[in-house]
Amino acid sequence: MPVVGGASAKADGADGVINVLNGSFRNTPVEALEARYPVTVTEYAIRAGSGGAGQHRGGCGIVRRYRFDAPTQLYLWLDRSITPAWGLMGGEPGLPPRVEIAGSVNRDDLLKANGILLAAGDRLSIMTGGGGGFGKAA
């Protein structure tokens, strides 16, 4: 699972931080994905509100939305998907990751997949989790 910035005693967590060394969600550039695969990235943004509340807010995760331009087999594995990033000293946890598929397959509970066949025009949304907050919110 990507590592987002949890809050500290002195500052809010960083938004959109991806651990590309050992996370299962890679921050591959949009241009590289679209050049190599039959996919169009329709959104790449900060997942607003995904960081845990607290005196200092946890960092927000990322949203990436894709449209498949040809039939595609989807392989997906988001680690650390059941337990969200926890808060410290009364801070709230961040939101857990979420994956949604719409089109010929409709799923909103999927975090692991092994070769689901998607049709041209199907849409996939991957929302990474947010970091935990620090301290009780005022």
Residues 26 and 20: beta-carbon distance below 8 Å = yes
Residues 39 and 67: beta-carbon distance below 8 Å = yes
> How many C-beta neighbours within 10 Å does residue 116 have?
17
Q: In which band, very low, low, confident or very high, does the pLDDT at 44 lie, cut at 50, 70 and 90?
A: very high
pLDDT per residue as tens digits for the range 14-27:
998 765 444 456 67
Which pLDDT belongs to residue 26?
Answer: 67
The model's pTM is 0.85
> How many C-beta neighbours within 10 Å does residue 3 have?
18
Tell me the torsion sign for CA atoms 94, 97, 101, 106: negative
- Tokens encoding 48: 């607003």
Q: What are phi and psi of 34, to 5 degrees?
A: -70, -30
Which pLDDT belongs to residue 69?
Answer: 97
